[in-house]
Structure 1
Amino acid sequence: MEGGNKKSIRNALKKISSEGFLSKVYKPPIPDGMLQKLEAVSEEWLVNTKRNEFVFSQGMFIWEELKQQTIITVENAEEKIVAFLNIIPDHVKGEGTYDLIRKTADAPNGVIDFMMIALFNYLRENGFQAINIGFSPLSGLSNPHNFPERSMKFAYEKIRSFSHYKGLRQAKEKFSPGWQPKYLVYEDDYDLLKVPAVLTQVFKP
């Protein structure tokens, strides 16, 4: 939170707090009434963003699963939930992670940053040293070496249908993560060119 490059996050947190919003942590088992509120937020998010569940890069809203997980919400003064995320097992010692991030259409600007900072604080207070904020497909090709790699870089940067990947990278960059590259092993160039289409298919429920 320190430094000039985090000023926008600090301003967003201050603005949201001044409007009466606050973050809350709910430990499992989560009451059914709370799950109903979370499900309504999730459904509204899917409709407003015209998305399906991205089951390859994150989970689906499964009632029985969320009931046994820690939930962080952002709520207004009337206890209306405008955003939530669920903490899931990471299986790496000292590292935490999350799954779903959902918000309502009327949630204040910066609510995701507000909720992420609440998550960071919660994990730190509970003895975690790191957080896995997930991956960013197709990004990181700063120096493509051949035509297929240049094609993938072009698709990532210029083609609208891949804009989600670019936005995902930008949203995570603001938290100054330490990116770790992941690699694919392939036999010929055609296999590499099929990666975007394959990702599109596996993201579907």
Structure 2
Amino acid sequence: MTDRLPPLNIAGFEIHKGFLDRAAQAALVEAIRGVARAAPFFAPVTPWGKPMRVRMTSAGRVGWITDRRGYRYEPTHPSGTPWPPIPQEVLAIWDAVAEDARQPDCCLVNFYGEGAKMGLHQDKDEGDFSYPVVSISLGDSATFRIGGTERADPTQSLLLESGDVVVMGGPARLAYHGIDRIRFGSSTLLPDGGRINLTLRVVA
């Protein structure tokens, strides 16, 4: 991790720019490769049957799932195998930015390939919104759109780069947010390009 600068505060989102140096980013990628070997990436669909543009997997006590049965957390990968533990390298970031919050139950891993994006949404499938959500960016830069707690609230955008960490807590915990696009090939961290986003959540 790099020497830490005070985070930016944008609409209640804490943005830790350059929180992870190149070596820490590379170590995280290797840790996530281990997660993906135990719980391979899969192509999710929405409850309405629409394919999502990201591929995903999870680590932790539970993993986040979306399919025709709805959005939810499950104790096993779609294959039926348990999710692997959250890597210690990831938990260390949570400990550094989430203050006294207890350890997360889930690390959702989303992979954005060329052309992938994520529409505005709230993280609201958890049981206790007093805990923050921590998001870690690896690989290609992305345009991150943030809004308010109502879908019709005004939005603003900022660029998230590899090594940036975002904390969504307090008034921003249920704010709408999404990824408009990635700048494919803007980073050399992933040999074939793309972006990995890790989202840490307390579920219970």
Same fold, TM-score > 0.5, yes or no? no
Q: Which has the higher strand share?
A: 2
* Greater relative contact order structure (CA < 8 Å, 6+ sep): 2
Q: Which has the higher helix share?
A: 1
* Higher Cα Rg, which structure: 1
TM-score w.r.t. structure 2 length?
0.29
